[in-house]
Amino acid sequence: MQRVSAKVLERVRQLMADGTVAKVVGWKKGEFFYDCAPSVFETVESLDDLVYDSFCASNLSKYMIKNSVLPEGQTGKVLVLLKPCDTYSFNQLLTEHRIQRDNVYILGVGCEGMVDIEKVKAQGVKGIIGASEKDGILTVETVYGNKDVAVRDVLVNKCETCKGKTHVIYDELISENEDEGPAGDRFEGVRALEAMTSEERFAFWKAELSKCIRCNACRNACPACSCRKCVFDNNASGIASKANTDSFEEKMFHIIRAFHVAGRCTDCGECTRVCPQGIPLHLFNRKYIKDINEFYGDYSAGETAGQRGPLINFTLNDVEPQIVSDREGN
């Protein structure tokens, strides 16, 4: 990661300096070193703050909806750093005409998997002040000295079932990874739920969803949830609950959100990663993905731009809804 990181930073600086790109959408350190937040860089000098390390988990695709619209008079493209999984979201947004491709310079960056600092802390590591990664080992600097942890033990949730190291769209690639294909079984969690009884499932979701504080972090991070104005914010939609007079939105938000992104969700995992309450929201999306694959054939949103999604498509011989009752299981 360190080697790639150094190359990336150098290349970005070069592209900005030679005028190829006028703007960079990347990550910047926050108050803590592991707080890498999306940021827009508009000068070469500002690039001093640009980082790319094991804590840059956020998916920058969504930021290109706004940033691919060039202000009047700007020449030069907008560079965006995309990890392999992020490129699926980018393609999906292209399919939906949300990004002006011509204005974007995609620098594909290799990824070894991102680290969840909470998992590091959970290993009993205290007084963390810095970290660096090399060959799968994260060396954590603490006030008590260095401590090594295996990256695979502290991966953010979405990286545990990494969908592969291939960038499905880019202009330039800086990567040293061989693609070994997807890691792990991403439907394991869905299967575990499916194996439960209906009552157990209900109890599970009731417990999880009751934690929700409706902070909208999931919605804000989700590249598919990118409506100009969310139905839940639109008083004319009949389901907004600004005044909190109605319990519908409060109770159904996640179910409706999951349906709205069904067939469009690239399984980037941002929803779960950003949830401050730790609700496994990806289990909704993956359920839809799993069902879609089973009912209508394998489909991977964002694999190529211009695909016709499964919910805006059909065949004459699709399964009947009755299959839900007829199939085996609880």
Partner 1 sequence: MPMNEANQEVKKEWKPKIVAFCCNWCSYAGADLAGSSRLVYPADVKIIRVPCSCRVNPMFILRAFEKGADGVILCGCHPGDCHYSTGNYYTRRRMTLLFSMLDYIGVEKGRTRVEWVSAAEGVKFSTVMNNFVSKIYELGENVKVGDLRCKE
Partner 2 sequence: MQRIGVFVCWCGSNIAATVDVDRVVAEAKVQPNVVFAQDYQYMCSEAGQGIIRNAIAEHKLTGVVVCSCSPRMHENTFRKAAERAGLNPYMVEIANIREHCSWIHKDKEEGTEKACVLMRAAVAKVLLNAPLKAGESKVTKRALVIGGGIAGIQTALDIADAGFEVDIVEKRATIGGRMAQLDKTFPTLDCSACILTPKMVEAAANEKVKLYTYSEVESVGGFVGNFHVKIRKKARFVKEDICTGCGACMAKCPSKKGLNEFNMNLNNRPAIYIPFAQAIPNVAVIDPEQCIKLKTGKCGLCEKVCTAGAIDYKQQDEIIEEEYGAIVMATGFQPIDASKFDEYSYSTCPDVVTSLELERLMNAAGPTGGVLLKPSDKTHPKSITFIQCVGSRDVSGRGKCYCSKICCMYTAKHAMLIRDKYPDVEVHVFYIDVRTPGKNFDEFYRRAVEQYDVDYIKGQVGKVYEEDGHLVVQGVDLIANEQIILNTDMVVLATAIEPDPTARKVASMLTASIDTNDFITEAHPKLRPVESPTAGIFLSGVCQGPKDIPETVSQAGAAAAKVIGLLAKDKLLTNPCVSHSNELLCNGCSCCEKVCPYGAIGYEDKLINDHGVRETRRVCVVNEALCQGCGACTVVCPSGAMDLKGFSNKQIMAEVDAICR
Query: Which stretches of the chain bind partner 1, using CB under 8 A?
Result: 193-194, 198-206, 209-210, 212, 239, 247-248, 250-252, 254-256, 258-259, 262, 284, 287-288, 291-292, 295-296, 310-316, 318-325
Q: How far is the CB of 119 from partner 1 (least distance, A)?
A: 27
- Which residue, 88, 43, 86, 93, is CA-closest to 65? 93
Question: Cα(324)–Cα(322) distance, rounded to whole angstroms?
Answer: 5
* Binding partner at 245 among partner 2, partner 1, none, C-beta below 5 to 8 Å by kind: none
**Beta carbons within 8 Å of 38's beta carbon, 6+ residues apart:** 25, 26, 27, 28, 58, 60, 63
CB nearer partner 1, residue 33 or residue 299: 299
The answer to whether the beta carbons of residues 160 and 189 sit under 8 Å apart is no
164 binds partner 2 (CB under 8 A): no
DSSP state of 29: E
Task: Specify the 3-state DSSP secondary structure of 93.
Answer: helix
**Beta carbons within 8 Å of 58's beta carbon, 6+ residues apart:** 27, 36, 37, 38, 221, 270, 273, 274
Q: Residue 203: which H helix or E strand, with range? A: helix 198-209
CB nearer partner 1, residue 150 or residue 213: 213
Task: Please identify, among the stretches 11-19, 41-49, 186-194, 236-244, the one whose residues bind partner 2 according to the rule CB under 8 A.
Answer: 236-244
206 binds partner 2 (CB under 8 A): no
Question: Cα(176)–Cα(31) distance, rounded to whole angstroms?
Answer: 30
227 binds partner 2 (CB under 8 A): yes
| DSSP assignment string, 107-121 | EEE--S--B-HHHHH
Binding mask 113-142 for partner 2 (x = CB under 8 A): ------------------------------
CB nearer partner 1, residue 47 or residue 256: 256
CB nearer partner 2, residue 32 or residue 295: 295
* Binding partner at 143 among partner 1, partner 2, none, C-beta below 5 to 8 Å by kind: none
CB nearer partner 1, residue 129 or residue 323: 323
Question: Cα(38)–Cα(22) distance, rounded to whole angstroms?
Answer: 17
Q: Residue 78: which H helix or E strand, with range? A: strand 77-82
Q: How far is the CB of 227 from partner 2 (least distance, A)?
A: 4
Binding residues among 54-73 for partner 2 as defined by CB under 8 A: 69
Q: How far is the CB of 106 from partner 2 (least distance, A)?
A: 21
Task: Specify the 3-state DSSP secondary structure of 324.
Answer: helix
